[in-house]
Structure 1
Amino acid sequence: MRADARRNYDHVLAVARTVLTEQGADASLRDVARRADVGLGTLYRHFPTREALLEALLRTSFDKLAAEAAELELSSSPRPALVAWLRDCVAFTHEYRGVISPMVAAIEEPESALHASCVTMRAAGTRLLSRAQNAGVARSDIDGVDLFALIAALAWLNDQPSTAPRACHLMDVIADAILTGPVRDDDDVAPSPPPTGQSPRG
């Protein structure tokens, strides 16, 4: 990509990040083009579909979560490693309201621009879950698909005004439901902090 084309691409992407942060994953692409001061055709040349734009925006976060999972496998015991990754994964979905819906759809659609990144992220979580199961600290009747579904459910709950204040408490409930066996000293996991001005039970 030529230097001027790269600058234009980066500018559109930066504006898109601002618009989607403000409006959520369903933000108008026409609004993105208008605020970036480019034609809609220019936007579509860079990002042919909404999924392609989301993939460009989310790629760094997906890669970071996959890398974090690999690091946690080496640096933490199975129970806290799984819980820490699960919390960070749910927190990531809060960046853009409604992003979990296209992520779930992309898992089942190999042609989606988001598919490969979502599958990689799910695989990273599956490895942490399997490690915890092999250590006897996570229930054995769930798999990576279930874990991704729980992340999606928690993300959806956080998107709803009526349940968002209880998101941290519900995260703890889900984590407790996944884990099994007594907590050992090296398995200590601090509870997730409540949102500002909220108690864990909302």
Structure 2
Amino acid sequence: MKKKILFLTGDFAEDYETMVPFQMLEMVGYEVHVVCPGKKKGDTVKTAIHDFEGDQTYSEKPGHNFTLTYSFDEVTVSDYLGLVIAGGRAPEYLRLNDKVIDIVRYFFNHNKPVAAVCHGIQILTAADVVKGRKLTAYPAVGPEVTLAGGEFHAIAADKAFVDGNLVTSPAWPGHAAFIREFLKLLGATIEI
């Protein structure tokens, strides 16, 4: 039986922050249940590509349609070893869903590994789980981390920050570090 990871995403989540971690986790053998409130297995979410092109903030372009691998209403949180939360615009409305908040709190209350990238940290602040924690996020989310009682760390976009069971990264350029640190929290080993 494969080990399972729960992955939260939604419409207009960042394309790379949904596609790439999903593929990386599947590549190393996890069964990844990618879910979105109000949607079921086989439904799609539209993603957006955020790029850094020298403007004051990222640019946004249409991404892909990502097919969800599991139905949100069928999630039993105790079945999962860890949780991944994609960034992009989706977290701003996903955090309004009570079940999403309950899911996040479950993982923190049970000290299970949680990986959140970019704006995905907005779900953590809404769930009131960052108080006293050290983490990073997309810089525009930094004030939310501070207001929620967390200690925001500004790091390079290609890095990840770990505090206990939580790994965070500012944006998709950090995927290699982000997933590497998440796999360590899961106790995974990869032999080459």
Report the TM-score range of the alignment, normalised by the length of the smaller protein: under 0.3
Larger helix share, 1 or 2: 1
TM-score, length-normalised on structure 2?
0.28
Larger strand share, 1 or 2: 2
Bigger radius of gyration: 1
